[in-house]
Amino acid sequence: MSEEKPNPFKVVLKQLDIAAEKLNLDPGIHEILKQPKRALIVSVSIRMDNGNIRSFTGYRVQYHDARGPYKGGTRYHPDVTLDEVKALAALMTWKCAVVDIPYGGAKGGIACNPKEMSLVELERLTRRYTSMILDLIGPYRDIPASDVGTNPQIMAWITDTYSQFRGYSVPEIATGKPLIIGGSEGRADAPSRGVVLCTKEMVSKIGKRFKDMTVAVQGYGNVGASAAILLKKEGCKIIAVSDSRGGIYNPNGIDPIKVLKHKEKSGSVIGFEECKGITNEELLELECDILVPAALENQITKANADKIKAKIITEAANAPTTPEADEILSKKGIIVIPDILANAGGVLASYFEWLQNLHREHWSEEEFIKKLEYKMLEAFDDVYETSEKNEVDMRTAALMLGVGRVAEAIETLGLWP
């Protein structure tokens, strides 16, 4: 009998409890942080290409905005639930605080399978969903972005729908847009660039050589593929990658660019030349130096944590590790660079795009990367120092930093009325 899938929001609440205890958080503030400020559920009805009408359940959760406007991606995936969106909105709240940008956290999603929908159906779905959450979003209120199952084109439709209602162009309403309508140079690689920077810094902290380290990447979407390519450029050896259909393994090394081209042609990494086929579960348990979970949440649990052999886990995905698994990994001496730090390159990219849009500016890729690296390294140092000072693991340190900054903002603002 397979292990029951953990409830993502309960996982986040358990992480919050750990941070609250370490911070000796005021019970009243802790109570405020246990629930989102606002959660909207909408039924998004559209006409499909065959003429039939289908209804999809959509969500927008706004967790807390004490530090600034809500910010968070929009996910299109069959398994989207309210609890998942609440969990991701909470993680966004802590993440924005960890990298010290003036945002609160939010998240949106629609329970659908975008892979089975035409471009026209996706446009209808996106525009109707946007119209239904219109009163909740805005460039100074809540700024959506792309996420799992969504892309720059979908962000363009959100931007246009919002702008049509307002009667003028509002590029700063969404981030992750195409360059031609206010997107940012360097955006595509930003999340994976943050993953690589954090990994490189941690390797340096433990006194190891980054070059020639072996890496396994679970999830070969935008972030996973880009991370594999950047890690290879840094001299690492990519020995395994996977996608939703399965994985490939070659202890002598894999060329991630060739794998990406193979996936674009065939639809999967499976069947790539000179590689052994493996499952996603087997990939997680491979003998390697660095493991990069870049798929969905709850991949590393109490059922498989004891079988993991990587020395460093860098979480490119949101919430890939459960609290029970964290305890096991910590006892084994495995270092986990948590999601709210490791994959924060994405929200930093969103912040930089938003700033450019607000000021009607366009930065060069060089300027963008320079600012991204500065903020990511600053955040890494903050978390690492908190970890050393309090003698806690990196996740607990990141949570203490993020939750602590949000709590301080709430306390400073006070409760009204």
Confidence of residue 3 (pLDDT cuts 50, 70, 90): low
Q: Which of 71, 95, 107, 311 is catalytic?
A: 107
Active site residue 107: yes
Q: What is the pTM of this model?
A: 0.93
Give me the chain's average pLDDT, please: 95
Domains and CATH numbers, the chain: 35-169 (3.40.50.10860), 190-341 (3.40.50.720)
Confidence of residue 1 (pLDDT cuts 50, 70, 90): very low
Confidence of residue 234 (pLDDT cuts 50, 70, 90): very high
Q: Quick: pLDDT tens for 181-223.
A: 999 999 999 999 999 999 999 999 998 888 889 999 999 988 9
Reduced 3-state DSSP string for the chain: CCCCCCCHHHHHHHHHHHHHHHHCCCHHHHHHHCCCCEEEEEEEEEECCCCCEEEEEEEEEEEECCCCCEEEEEEEECCCCHHHHHHHHHHHHHHHHHCCCCCEEEEEEEECCHHHCCHHHHHHHHHHHHHHCCCCCECCCEEEEECCCCCHHHHHHHHHHHHHHHCCCCHHHCECCCHHHCCCCCCCCHHHHHHHHHHHHHHHHCCCCCCCCEEEEECCCHHHHHHHHHHHHCCCEEEEEEECCEEEECCCCCCHHHHHHHHHHHCCCCCCCCCEEECHHHHHCCCCCEEEECCCCCCECCCCHHHCCCCEEECCCCCCECHHHHHHHHHCCCEEECHHHHCCHHHHHHHHHHHHHHCCCCCCHHHHHHHHHHHHHHHHHHHHHHHHHHCCCHHHHHHHHHHHHHHHHHHHHCCCC
Mean pLDDT, rounded, for 9-16: 93
